[in-house]
Structure 1
Amino acid sequence: MAGGMFDMAHPAVALSGIAGNFISFLVFLAPLATFIQVYKKKTTGGFSSVPYVVALFSCVLWIFYAHVKTNSTFLLTINSFGCGVEAIYIAAYLIYAPRRARLRTLAYFFLLDVAAFGLVAVITVYGIAPTHREKFLGGVCLAFSMAVFVAPLSIIFKVIKTKSVEYMPVGLSFCLVLSSVAWFCYGFFTHDPFVMYPNVGGFFFSCAQMGLYFRYRNHPSNAVLPTTTDASDGGAAVQQQQQQTQVIELPVHTVAILSVGPVPVVGMHKIEVVATEQQTIVANKSAEVIEIAAAV
Protein backbone atom coordinates (compact mmCIF):
# COMPACT_ATOMS: atom_id res chain seq x y z
CA MET A 1 0.00 0.00 0.00
CA ALA A 2 1.31 3.43 -0.91
CA GLY A 3 0.70 6.35 1.36
CA GLY A 4 -1.05 4.65 4.29
CA MET A 5 -0.85 6.52 7.57
CA PHE A 6 2.09 5.34 9.70
CA ASP A 7 2.65 2.40 7.35
CA MET A 8 5.91 1.06 8.78
CA ALA A 9 6.10 -1.50 5.99
CA HIS A 10 7.06 1.54 3.92
CA PRO A 11 8.84 3.81 6.43
CA ALA A 12 10.11 6.20 3.75
CA VAL A 13 6.54 6.88 2.61
CA ALA A 14 5.38 7.39 6.19
CA LEU A 15 8.24 9.70 7.15
CA SER A 16 8.02 11.86 4.01
CA GLY A 17 4.24 12.07 4.30
CA ILE A 18 4.39 13.07 7.97
CA ALA A 19 7.08 15.68 7.25
CA GLY A 20 5.08 17.09 4.33
CA ASN A 21 1.93 17.29 6.44
CA PHE A 22 3.70 19.00 9.33
CA ILE A 23 5.38 21.68 7.19
CA SER A 24 2.25 22.29 5.14
CA PHE A 25 0.24 22.56 8.35
CA LEU A 26 2.47 25.44 9.47
CA VAL A 27 2.27 27.17 6.09
CA PHE A 28 -1.52 26.97 6.08
CA LEU A 29 -1.58 28.74 9.44
CA ALA A 30 0.76 31.52 8.28
CA PRO A 31 -2.04 34.03 7.49
CA LEU A 32 -3.62 33.54 10.93
CA ALA A 33 -1.89 36.58 12.45
CA THR A 34 -3.15 38.72 9.58
CA PHE A 35 -6.74 37.62 10.08
CA ILE A 36 -6.49 38.26 13.81
CA GLN A 37 -5.63 41.86 12.91
CA VAL A 38 -8.52 41.91 10.46
CA TYR A 39 -10.85 40.79 13.25
CA LYS A 40 -9.52 43.43 15.66
CA LYS A 41 -9.70 46.26 13.12
CA LYS A 42 -12.93 45.03 11.50
CA THR A 43 -11.47 45.59 8.04
CA THR A 44 -9.49 43.58 5.48
CA GLY A 45 -7.16 46.48 4.86
CA GLY A 46 -7.54 46.25 1.09
CA PHE A 47 -5.61 43.04 0.47
CA SER A 48 -6.76 40.57 -2.17
CA SER A 49 -8.87 37.47 -1.56
CA VAL A 50 -7.69 35.74 -4.74
CA PRO A 51 -4.92 33.69 -3.01
CA TYR A 52 -7.41 32.15 -0.62
CA VAL A 53 -9.93 31.33 -3.33
CA VAL A 54 -7.23 29.71 -5.47
CA ALA A 55 -5.91 27.82 -2.44
CA LEU A 56 -9.34 26.37 -1.76
CA PHE A 57 -9.65 25.27 -5.39
CA SER A 58 -6.28 23.53 -5.20
CA CYS A 59 -7.23 21.72 -2.00
CA VAL A 60 -10.53 20.37 -3.31
CA LEU A 61 -8.80 19.25 -6.51
CA TRP A 62 -6.26 17.22 -4.55
CA ILE A 63 -8.90 15.80 -2.23
CA PHE A 64 -10.78 14.57 -5.29
CA TYR A 65 -7.55 13.13 -6.72
CA ALA A 66 -6.77 11.37 -3.43
CA HIS A 67 -10.23 9.78 -3.35
CA VAL A 68 -9.91 8.53 -6.91
CA LYS A 69 -6.40 7.22 -6.37
CA THR A 70 -7.20 5.60 -2.98
CA ASN A 71 -4.56 4.77 -0.34
CA SER A 72 -3.52 8.43 -0.25
CA THR A 73 -4.10 9.19 3.40
CA PHE A 74 -1.44 11.88 3.67
CA LEU A 75 -2.88 13.78 0.72
CA LEU A 76 -6.35 13.60 2.22
CA THR A 77 -5.34 14.75 5.69
CA ILE A 78 -3.39 17.86 4.77
CA ASN A 79 -5.70 18.95 1.96
CA SER A 80 -8.79 18.43 4.13
CA PHE A 81 -7.19 20.59 6.80
CA GLY A 82 -6.23 23.18 4.18
CA CYS A 83 -9.73 23.17 2.75
CA GLY A 84 -11.22 23.96 6.14
CA VAL A 85 -8.67 26.67 6.90
CA GLU A 86 -9.09 28.38 3.53
CA ALA A 87 -12.88 28.29 3.90
CA ILE A 88 -12.53 30.06 7.25
CA TYR A 89 -10.21 32.68 5.72
CA ILE A 90 -12.66 33.35 2.89
CA ALA A 91 -15.60 33.59 5.30
CA ALA A 92 -13.68 36.07 7.45
CA TYR A 93 -12.79 38.07 4.36
CA LEU A 94 -16.44 38.21 3.28
CA ILE A 95 -17.47 39.47 6.72
CA TYR A 96 -14.98 42.32 6.97
CA ALA A 97 -14.29 43.29 3.34
CA PRO A 98 -15.90 46.32 1.66
CA ARG A 99 -18.95 45.64 -0.48
CA ARG A 100 -17.14 45.72 -3.85
CA ALA A 101 -14.36 43.44 -2.61
CA ARG A 102 -16.97 41.11 -1.15
CA LEU A 103 -18.81 40.86 -4.46
CA ARG A 104 -15.55 40.20 -6.33
CA THR A 105 -14.66 37.46 -3.87
CA LEU A 106 -18.03 35.79 -4.32
CA ALA A 107 -17.62 35.97 -8.09
CA TYR A 108 -14.16 34.38 -7.89
CA PHE A 109 -15.47 31.71 -5.52
CA PHE A 110 -18.40 30.66 -7.70
CA LEU A 111 -16.35 30.84 -10.89
CA LEU A 112 -13.38 28.80 -9.66
CA ASP A 113 -14.38 26.77 -6.61
CA VAL A 114 -17.89 25.94 -7.78
CA ALA A 115 -18.09 26.15 -11.58
CA ALA A 116 -14.54 25.10 -12.50
CA PHE A 117 -14.37 22.30 -9.95
CA GLY A 118 -17.87 21.16 -10.90
CA LEU A 119 -16.80 20.95 -14.54
CA VAL A 120 -13.74 18.89 -13.65
CA ALA A 121 -15.86 16.58 -11.48
CA VAL A 122 -18.51 16.06 -14.17
CA ILE A 123 -15.91 15.32 -16.85
CA THR A 124 -14.11 12.91 -14.53
CA VAL A 125 -17.22 10.98 -13.50
CA TYR A 126 -19.16 10.95 -16.76
CA GLY A 127 -16.58 11.50 -19.46
CA ILE A 128 -13.54 9.51 -18.33
CA ALA A 129 -13.34 5.74 -17.99
CA PRO A 130 -12.65 4.57 -14.42
CA THR A 131 -9.27 3.16 -15.40
CA HIS A 132 -8.12 6.58 -16.67
CA ARG A 133 -9.60 8.83 -14.00
CA GLU A 134 -6.48 8.87 -11.85
CA LYS A 135 -4.30 9.99 -14.75
CA PHE A 136 -6.83 12.60 -15.86
CA LEU A 137 -7.18 14.16 -12.41
CA GLY A 138 -3.46 13.93 -11.79
CA GLY A 139 -2.87 15.73 -15.08
CA VAL A 140 -5.29 18.49 -14.10
CA CYS A 141 -3.56 18.95 -10.75
CA LEU A 142 -0.16 18.90 -12.40
CA ALA A 143 -1.21 21.49 -15.01
CA PHE A 144 -2.63 23.73 -12.27
CA SER A 145 0.62 23.52 -10.31
CA MET A 146 2.71 24.26 -13.39
CA ALA A 147 0.53 27.27 -14.18
CA VAL A 148 1.19 28.92 -10.83
CA PHE A 149 4.92 28.28 -11.22
CA VAL A 150 5.07 31.17 -13.70
CA ALA A 151 4.07 33.70 -11.04
CA PRO A 152 7.36 33.73 -9.06
CA LEU A 153 9.16 34.95 -12.18
CA SER A 154 7.59 38.40 -11.76
CA ILE A 155 8.83 38.83 -8.19
CA ILE A 156 12.24 37.40 -9.08
CA PHE A 157 12.63 39.89 -11.94
CA LYS A 158 11.43 42.67 -9.63
CA VAL A 159 14.07 41.81 -7.04
CA ILE A 160 16.81 41.71 -9.66
CA LYS A 161 15.68 45.03 -11.15
CA THR A 162 15.19 46.92 -7.89
CA LYS A 163 17.83 45.04 -5.88
CA SER A 164 15.31 45.04 -3.05
CA VAL A 165 14.03 42.01 -1.13
CA GLU A 166 11.25 43.79 0.76
CA TYR A 167 8.63 41.53 -0.86
CA MET A 168 10.51 38.27 -0.26
CA PRO A 169 10.23 36.69 3.20
CA VAL A 170 13.18 34.33 3.51
CA GLY A 171 11.63 32.27 6.30
CA LEU A 172 8.72 31.26 4.12
CA SER A 173 11.04 30.43 1.22
CA PHE A 174 13.06 28.16 3.50
CA CYS A 175 9.89 26.35 4.61
CA LEU A 176 8.96 25.88 0.98
CA VAL A 177 12.31 24.28 0.24
CA LEU A 178 11.71 21.78 3.02
CA SER A 179 8.15 21.22 1.84
CA SER A 180 9.26 20.60 -1.73
CA VAL A 181 11.82 18.04 -0.60
CA ALA A 182 9.31 16.24 1.62
CA TRP A 183 6.58 16.02 -1.01
CA PHE A 184 9.02 15.12 -3.76
CA CYS A 185 10.21 12.20 -1.64
CA TYR A 186 6.60 11.22 -0.96
CA GLY A 187 5.82 11.21 -4.69
CA PHE A 188 9.02 9.30 -5.43
CA PHE A 189 8.41 6.57 -2.85
CA THR A 190 4.75 6.20 -3.83
CA HIS A 191 5.63 6.24 -7.55
CA ASP A 192 3.29 9.16 -8.12
CA PRO A 193 4.64 11.48 -10.84
CA PHE A 194 1.80 13.97 -10.32
CA VAL A 195 3.07 14.61 -6.80
CA MET A 196 6.76 14.30 -7.58
CA TYR A 197 7.32 16.45 -10.68
CA PRO A 198 5.72 19.74 -9.53
CA ASN A 199 8.02 19.79 -6.53
CA VAL A 200 11.05 20.01 -8.77
CA GLY A 201 9.80 23.41 -9.89
CA GLY A 202 8.85 24.32 -6.35
CA PHE A 203 12.31 23.48 -5.07
CA PHE A 204 13.98 25.45 -7.86
CA PHE A 205 11.94 28.62 -7.35
CA SER A 206 12.21 28.50 -3.56
CA CYS A 207 15.99 28.12 -3.74
CA ALA A 208 16.18 30.92 -6.30
CA GLN A 209 14.27 33.24 -3.97
CA MET A 210 16.50 32.37 -1.03
CA GLY A 211 19.58 32.98 -3.17
CA LEU A 212 18.29 36.39 -4.24
CA TYR A 213 17.43 37.26 -0.67
CA PHE A 214 20.96 36.63 0.58
CA ARG A 215 22.36 38.37 -2.50
CA TYR A 216 20.44 41.62 -2.02
CA ARG A 217 19.48 41.66 1.67
CA ASN A 218 22.19 44.21 2.55
CA HIS A 219 21.76 46.29 -0.58
CA PRO A 220 21.31 50.04 0.07
CA SER A 221 17.93 50.02 -1.67
CA ASN A 222 16.55 48.03 1.26
CA ALA A 223 17.35 50.79 3.74
CA VAL A 224 15.02 53.69 4.57
CA LEU A 225 17.16 56.73 5.23
CA PRO A 226 16.04 59.72 7.29
CA THR A 227 16.08 63.30 6.04
CA THR A 228 19.68 64.44 5.55
CA THR A 229 21.47 67.75 5.21
CA ASP A 230 24.49 68.71 3.19
CA ALA A 231 27.28 70.27 5.27
CA SER A 232 29.94 70.16 2.58
CA ASP A 233 29.85 73.93 2.13
CA GLY A 234 31.81 74.59 5.30
CA GLY A 235 29.16 73.96 7.91
CA ALA A 236 26.15 75.65 6.28
CA ALA A 237 23.29 73.24 6.79
CA VAL A 238 21.37 73.05 3.54
CA GLN A 239 18.06 71.23 3.72
CA GLN A 240 18.01 68.57 1.01
CA GLN A 241 14.40 67.60 1.59
CA GLN A 242 11.49 69.29 3.30
CA GLN A 243 9.72 66.06 3.83
CA GLN A 244 10.47 63.11 6.02
CA THR A 245 9.26 59.75 4.78
CA GLN A 246 8.47 56.81 6.96
CA VAL A 247 7.80 53.46 5.40
CA ILE A 248 5.27 51.26 7.15
CA GLU A 249 4.89 47.71 5.92
CA LEU A 250 1.70 45.90 6.77
CA PRO A 251 1.86 42.22 7.71
CA VAL A 252 2.62 39.76 4.96
CA HIS A 253 -0.51 37.99 3.77
CA THR A 254 0.36 34.39 3.09
CA VAL A 255 -1.73 31.48 2.07
CA ALA A 256 -0.94 27.94 1.11
CA ILE A 257 -2.30 26.56 -2.12
CA LEU A 258 -1.83 22.89 -1.62
CA SER A 259 -0.91 21.02 -4.73
CA VAL A 260 0.00 18.02 -2.66
CA GLY A 261 2.10 20.43 -0.72
CA PRO A 262 1.98 24.16 -0.27
CA VAL A 263 2.16 26.50 -3.23
CA PRO A 264 2.06 29.67 -1.19
CA VAL A 265 0.82 32.98 -2.42
CA VAL A 266 2.47 35.83 -0.64
CA GLY A 267 1.07 39.35 -0.82
CA MET A 268 2.31 42.47 0.86
CA HIS A 269 0.93 45.97 1.01
CA LYS A 270 3.20 48.92 1.51
CA ILE A 271 2.04 52.34 2.71
CA GLU A 272 4.18 55.44 2.70
CA VAL A 273 3.26 58.06 5.28
CA VAL A 274 4.66 61.46 4.30
CA ALA A 275 4.75 64.19 6.96
CA THR A 276 5.22 67.70 5.56
CA GLU A 277 6.27 70.83 7.44
CA GLN A 278 2.60 71.73 7.84
CA GLN A 279 2.08 68.31 9.52
CA THR A 280 -0.17 67.20 6.67
CA ILE A 281 -0.16 63.42 6.44
CA VAL A 282 -0.73 61.83 3.07
CA ALA A 283 -1.15 58.07 2.83
CA ASN A 284 -0.29 56.64 -0.52
CA LYS A 285 -0.98 52.95 -0.98
CA SER A 286 1.18 51.34 -3.62
CA ALA A 287 0.03 48.61 -5.93
CA GLU A 288 -0.33 45.27 -4.24
CA VAL A 289 2.32 42.74 -5.05
CA ILE A 290 1.35 39.08 -5.08
CA GLU A 291 4.10 36.53 -5.17
CA ILE A 292 3.35 32.90 -5.91
CA ALA A 293 6.21 30.67 -4.92
CA ALA A 294 5.43 27.23 -6.17
CA ALA A 295 6.42 24.39 -3.88
CA VAL A 296 4.01 21.54 -4.25
Structure 2
Amino acid sequence: MVMHPELGSVFGWLGTVFTLVYFLSPVPTCMNVVKSKSVQEFSAFPYAMGVFNCSCWVYYCVVTMEASSKDLTPNMVVNGVGALMFLCYVSIFLVYAGSRLTSILRLVLTAILVEALLIGFCEGVVPSLHKGFHWGTSPSMKSSVSGLTCVVINVLLYGSPLVMMKTVIQTRSVKYMPLPMSLLGFVICILWSAQAVFIQDVTVGVPNVLGIILGAAQLVLYAFYCRESGDASRDLMLSHVSVSAA
Protein backbone atom coordinates (compact mmCIF):
# COMPACT_ATOMS: atom_id res chain seq x y z
CA MET A 1 0.00 0.00 0.00
CA VAL A 2 1.24 3.48 -0.89
CA MET A 3 1.73 5.86 2.00
CA HIS A 4 -0.45 8.97 2.15
CA PRO A 5 1.27 11.16 4.77
CA GLU A 6 -1.03 14.13 4.11
CA LEU A 7 -4.16 12.11 4.93
CA GLY A 8 -2.31 10.55 7.86
CA SER A 9 -1.59 14.02 9.22
CA VAL A 10 -5.26 15.06 8.89
CA PHE A 11 -6.51 12.02 10.81
CA GLY A 12 -3.66 12.38 13.30
CA TRP A 13 -4.58 15.95 14.25
CA LEU A 14 -8.27 15.05 14.39
CA GLY A 15 -7.35 12.20 16.71
CA THR A 16 -5.31 14.64 18.80
CA VAL A 17 -8.28 16.95 19.36
CA PHE A 18 -10.69 14.18 20.32
CA THR A 19 -8.13 12.41 22.51
CA LEU A 20 -7.34 15.57 24.47
CA VAL A 21 -11.07 15.95 25.15
CA TYR A 22 -11.06 12.33 26.36
CA PHE A 23 -8.07 13.06 28.60
CA LEU A 24 -10.17 15.69 30.37
CA SER A 25 -12.52 12.99 31.66
CA PRO A 26 -10.77 12.74 35.08
CA VAL A 27 -11.44 16.43 35.81
CA PRO A 28 -14.77 15.83 37.63
CA THR A 29 -13.10 13.20 39.81
CA CYS A 30 -10.20 15.51 40.64
CA MET A 31 -12.58 18.36 41.42
CA ASN A 32 -14.41 16.03 43.78
CA VAL A 33 -11.09 15.19 45.49
CA VAL A 34 -10.14 18.86 45.85
CA LYS A 35 -13.59 19.84 47.13
CA SER A 36 -13.64 17.09 49.76
CA LYS A 37 -9.87 17.39 50.45
CA SER A 38 -9.69 13.61 50.32
CA VAL A 39 -9.02 10.96 47.66
CA GLN A 40 -11.92 8.98 49.16
CA GLU A 41 -12.27 5.58 47.44
CA PHE A 42 -10.75 6.77 44.14
CA SER A 43 -7.62 5.04 42.87
CA ALA A 44 -4.53 6.85 41.56
CA PHE A 45 -3.55 3.84 39.45
CA PRO A 46 -5.28 4.94 36.19
CA TYR A 47 -3.60 8.36 36.45
CA ALA A 48 -0.12 6.94 37.08
CA MET A 49 -0.62 4.53 34.19
CA GLY A 50 -1.71 7.46 32.04
CA VAL A 51 1.62 9.19 32.68
CA PHE A 52 3.55 5.99 31.99
CA ASN A 53 1.62 5.07 28.85
CA CYS A 54 1.81 8.55 27.31
CA SER A 55 5.53 8.83 28.10
CA CYS A 56 6.22 5.51 26.36
CA TRP A 57 4.39 6.74 23.25
CA VAL A 58 6.36 10.00 23.25
CA TYR A 59 9.63 8.06 23.32
CA TYR A 60 8.43 5.79 20.51
CA CYS A 61 7.51 8.80 18.38
CA VAL A 62 10.89 10.46 18.94
CA VAL A 63 13.04 7.43 18.07
CA THR A 64 10.84 6.48 15.10
CA MET A 65 10.93 9.95 13.54
CA GLU A 66 14.70 10.05 14.07
CA ALA A 67 15.11 6.84 12.07
CA SER A 68 12.51 7.41 9.34
CA SER A 69 10.49 9.98 7.42
CA LYS A 70 7.26 9.12 9.24
CA ASP A 71 5.43 12.12 10.63
CA LEU A 72 4.31 11.19 14.14
CA THR A 73 4.13 14.79 15.32
CA PRO A 74 0.40 14.59 16.23
CA ASN A 75 1.07 11.43 18.23
CA MET A 76 4.00 13.01 20.05
CA VAL A 77 2.06 16.20 20.84
CA VAL A 78 -1.07 14.47 22.16
CA ASN A 79 0.93 12.10 24.33
CA GLY A 80 3.24 14.83 25.59
CA VAL A 81 0.27 16.96 26.63
CA GLY A 82 -1.48 13.87 27.97
CA ALA A 83 1.50 12.95 30.15
CA LEU A 84 1.46 16.45 31.66
CA MET A 85 -2.29 16.29 32.25
CA PHE A 86 -2.10 12.95 34.03
CA LEU A 87 0.87 14.20 36.02
CA CYS A 88 -1.35 17.03 37.26
CA TYR A 89 -4.05 14.52 38.23
CA VAL A 90 -1.49 12.40 40.10
CA SER A 91 -0.21 15.52 41.88
CA ILE A 92 -3.72 16.28 43.14
CA PHE A 93 -3.94 12.77 44.53
CA LEU A 94 -0.58 13.17 46.27
CA VAL A 95 -1.69 16.44 47.88
CA TYR A 96 -4.90 14.94 49.27
CA ALA A 97 -3.67 11.36 49.79
CA GLY A 98 -3.77 11.51 53.59
CA SER A 99 -3.04 8.06 55.02
CA ARG A 100 -2.67 6.66 51.50
CA LEU A 101 0.30 8.91 50.66
CA THR A 102 2.87 6.13 50.98
CA SER A 103 1.03 3.72 48.67
CA ILE A 104 0.34 6.38 46.03
CA LEU A 105 3.92 7.64 46.18
CA ARG A 106 5.18 4.07 45.79
CA LEU A 107 2.97 3.65 42.73
CA VAL A 108 4.29 6.86 41.15
CA LEU A 109 7.92 6.02 41.86
CA THR A 110 7.46 2.52 40.42
CA ALA A 111 6.05 3.96 37.18
CA ILE A 112 8.97 6.40 36.94
CA LEU A 113 11.52 3.64 37.62
CA VAL A 114 10.05 1.30 34.99
CA GLU A 115 9.98 4.13 32.45
CA ALA A 116 13.62 5.01 33.20
CA LEU A 117 14.68 1.36 32.88
CA LEU A 118 12.89 1.03 29.55
CA ILE A 119 14.49 4.14 28.08
CA GLY A 120 17.87 3.18 29.55
CA PHE A 121 17.60 -0.27 27.95
CA CYS A 122 16.65 1.17 24.55
CA GLU A 123 19.41 3.79 24.64
CA GLY A 124 22.18 1.80 26.32
CA VAL A 125 21.66 -1.84 25.43
CA VAL A 126 19.61 -2.09 22.24
CA PRO A 127 22.12 -0.23 19.99
CA SER A 128 24.85 -2.69 20.98
CA LEU A 129 22.85 -5.79 20.14
CA HIS A 130 24.12 -7.62 17.08
CA LYS A 131 20.92 -9.38 16.12
CA GLY A 132 18.43 -7.22 14.31
CA PHE A 133 14.88 -7.20 15.62
CA HIS A 134 12.10 -5.51 13.70
CA TRP A 135 8.52 -5.16 14.86
CA GLY A 136 6.06 -4.40 12.09
CA THR A 137 7.15 -1.37 10.08
CA SER A 138 9.44 0.06 12.78
CA PRO A 139 12.59 1.44 11.10
CA SER A 140 15.13 0.65 13.84
CA MET A 141 15.67 -1.67 16.79
CA LYS A 142 14.96 1.13 19.29
CA SER A 143 11.75 1.90 17.47
CA SER A 144 10.85 -1.80 17.36
CA VAL A 145 11.49 -2.44 21.06
CA SER A 146 9.73 0.72 22.25
CA GLY A 147 6.88 0.22 19.77
CA LEU A 148 6.25 -3.37 20.82
CA THR A 149 6.35 -2.24 24.45
CA CYS A 150 3.67 0.38 23.73
CA VAL A 151 1.48 -2.24 22.04
CA VAL A 152 1.83 -4.68 24.95
CA ILE A 153 1.02 -1.96 27.51
CA ASN A 154 -2.10 -0.87 25.62
CA VAL A 155 -3.32 -4.45 25.11
CA LEU A 156 -2.94 -5.04 28.87
CA LEU A 157 -4.82 -1.83 29.60
CA TYR A 158 -7.77 -3.15 27.62
CA GLY A 159 -8.43 -5.33 30.66
CA SER A 160 -10.33 -2.38 32.17
CA PRO A 161 -13.06 -2.16 29.51
CA LEU A 162 -13.30 -5.97 29.46
CA VAL A 163 -13.96 -6.01 33.21
CA MET A 164 -16.48 -3.21 32.73
CA MET A 165 -18.26 -5.15 29.99
CA LYS A 166 -18.37 -8.22 32.24
CA THR A 167 -19.96 -6.08 34.97
CA VAL A 168 -22.59 -4.82 32.53
CA ILE A 169 -23.51 -8.39 31.55
CA GLN A 170 -23.62 -9.59 35.17
CA THR A 171 -25.66 -6.66 36.47
CA ARG A 172 -27.67 -6.19 33.27
CA SER A 173 -27.05 -2.47 33.75
CA VAL A 174 -25.06 0.18 31.86
CA LYS A 175 -24.67 2.27 35.01
CA TYR A 176 -20.89 1.99 34.90
CA MET A 177 -20.53 2.32 31.12
CA PRO A 178 -21.56 5.89 30.19
CA LEU A 179 -22.48 6.15 26.52
CA PRO A 180 -20.62 9.45 25.75
CA MET A 181 -17.26 8.05 26.87
CA SER A 182 -17.75 4.73 25.09
CA LEU A 183 -18.74 6.51 21.88
CA LEU A 184 -15.87 8.99 22.12
CA GLY A 185 -13.35 6.21 22.69
CA PHE A 186 -14.72 4.36 19.66
CA VAL A 187 -14.36 7.44 17.42
CA ILE A 188 -10.84 8.11 18.70
CA CYS A 189 -9.68 4.59 17.86
CA ILE A 190 -11.15 4.93 14.35
CA LEU A 191 -9.22 8.18 13.76
CA TRP A 192 -5.88 6.79 14.98
CA SER A 193 -6.42 3.57 13.02
CA ALA A 194 -7.00 5.61 9.86
CA GLN A 195 -3.77 7.51 10.52
CA ALA A 196 -1.92 4.20 11.02
CA VAL A 197 -3.15 2.93 7.65
CA PHE A 198 -2.13 6.07 5.75
CA ILE A 199 1.36 6.28 7.33
CA GLN A 200 1.75 2.48 7.48
CA ASP A 201 2.55 2.20 11.17
CA VAL A 202 1.72 -1.16 12.74
CA THR A 203 2.51 0.04 16.26
CA VAL A 204 -0.15 2.74 16.08
CA GLY A 205 -2.57 0.48 14.26
CA VAL A 206 -2.69 -2.69 16.36
CA PRO A 207 -3.95 -1.29 19.69
CA ASN A 208 -6.40 1.06 17.98
CA VAL A 209 -7.91 -1.68 15.81
CA LEU A 210 -8.40 -3.68 19.00
CA GLY A 211 -9.93 -0.53 20.48
CA ILE A 212 -12.42 -0.34 17.61
CA ILE A 213 -13.48 -3.94 18.24
CA LEU A 214 -13.89 -3.36 21.98
CA GLY A 215 -15.61 -0.03 21.37
CA ALA A 216 -18.12 -1.63 19.02
CA ALA A 217 -18.76 -4.38 21.57
CA GLN A 218 -19.39 -1.75 24.27
CA LEU A 219 -21.89 0.08 22.07
CA VAL A 220 -23.72 -3.17 21.28
CA LEU A 221 -23.88 -3.98 25.01
CA TYR A 222 -25.16 -0.49 25.75
CA ALA A 223 -27.90 -0.79 23.14
CA PHE A 224 -28.90 -4.18 24.55
CA TYR A 225 -28.95 -3.29 28.25
CA CYS A 226 -29.77 0.44 28.31
CA ARG A 227 -33.51 -0.15 28.59
CA GLU A 228 -32.99 -2.25 31.70
CA SER A 229 -30.85 0.41 33.40
CA GLY A 230 -31.45 3.68 35.11
CA ASP A 231 -29.44 6.76 34.26
CA ALA A 232 -25.79 5.98 33.57
CA SER A 233 -23.42 7.20 36.23
CA ARG A 234 -20.54 9.50 35.47
CA ASP A 235 -17.76 7.12 36.47
CA LEU A 236 -15.59 8.66 33.79
CA MET A 237 -12.25 7.17 34.78
CA LEU A 238 -13.20 3.56 34.17
CA SER A 239 -11.00 3.08 31.09
CA HIS A 240 -9.37 6.31 29.97
CA VAL A 241 -5.93 4.80 29.45
CA SER A 242 -7.39 2.07 27.27
CA VAL A 243 -7.53 4.56 24.42
CA SER A 244 -4.24 4.39 22.55
CA ALA A 245 -3.30 8.01 22.02
CA ALA A 246 -0.94 7.30 19.20
TM-score in terms of structure 2 length: 0.85
- Call closer, same or farther: CA 1:180–1:151 in 2, change over 3 Å: same
* CA-CA distance at 1:187 after TM superposition: 1.0
Residue 54 of structure 1 corresponds to which residue in structure 2?
A: 49
The 10-residue stretch of structure 1 (146-155 or 15-24) with the greater mean CA deviation from structure 2: 146-155
* CA-CA distance at 1:257 after TM superposition: 2.5
Q: Which has the higher contact order (CA 8 A, sep 6+)?
A: 2
Residue 74 of structure 2 corresponds to which residue in structure 1?
A: 74
Provide the rounded CA distance (Å) in 2 between the counterparts of 1:172 and 1:197: 21
* CA-CA distance at 1:260 after TM superposition: 4.4
* CA-CA distance at 1:68 after TM superposition: 0.4
Instruction: Render the CA deviation track for 1:115-135: whole Å, top value 9, x for unaligned.
Output: 111111111011112831111
Provide the rounded CA distance (Å) in 1 between the counterparts of 2:244 and 2:74: 9
* CA-CA distance at 1:182 after TM superposition: 0.4
> Which structure 2 residues correspond to residues 136-151 of structure 1 after superposition, within 5 A?
136-151=145-160
Residue 270 of structure 1 corresponds to which residue in structure 2?
A: none
* CA-CA distance at 1:251 after TM superposition: 4.6
Provide the rounded CA distance (Å) in 1 between the counterparts of 2:163 and 2:25: 22
Return 5+ residue gaps in structure 1 as ranges: 4-8, 225-248, 262-295
Residue 195 of structure 1 corresponds to which residue in structure 2?
A: 204
Q: Secondary structure at the match of 2:59?
A: helix
Q: Residue 18 of structure 2: which of 7, 15, 23 is its match?
A: 23
Provide the rounded CA distance (Å) in 1 between the counterparts of 2:225 and 2:198: 37
Return 5+ residue gaps in structure 2 as ranges: 66-70, 129-139
8 Å contact from structure 1 (residues 62, 259) kept in 2: no
- Call closer, same or farther: CA 1:199–1:138 in 2, change over 3 Å: same
> Which structure 2 residues correspond to residues 118-267 of structure 1 after superposition, within 5 A?
118-129=116-127, 131-219=140-228, 222-223=229-230, 251-254=234-237, 256-257=240-241, 260-261=244-245
Q: Secondary structure at the match of 1:39?
A: helix
Identity, % of aligned pairs? 23
8 Å contact from structure 2 (residues 158, 242) kept in 1: no
Q: Secondary structure at the match of 2:241?
A: strand
8 Å contact from structure 1 (residues 94, 102) kept in 2: yes
Residue 108 of structure 1 corresponds to which residue in structure 2?
A: 107
Aligned AA (1:183):
W
TM-score in terms of structure 1 length: 0.72
Instruction: Render the CA deviation track for 1:172-211: whole Å, top value 9, x for unaligned.
Output: 0100111000000111111110001111110111111111
Larger radius of gyration: 1
* CA-CA distance at 1:46 after TM superposition: 1.8
- Call closer, same or farther: CA 1:26–1:200 in 2, change over 3 Å: same
8 Å contact from structure 2 (residues 12, 192) kept in 1: yes
The 10-residue stretch of structure 1 (42-51 or 168-177) with the greater mean CA deviation from structure 2: 42-51
8 Å contact from structure 1 (residues 23, 179) kept in 2: yes
Aligned AA (1:18):
W
8 Å contact from structure 2 (residues 193, 208) kept in 1: yes
* CA-CA distance at 1:160 after TM superposition: 1.4
8 Å contact from structure 2 (residues 47, 86) kept in 1: yes
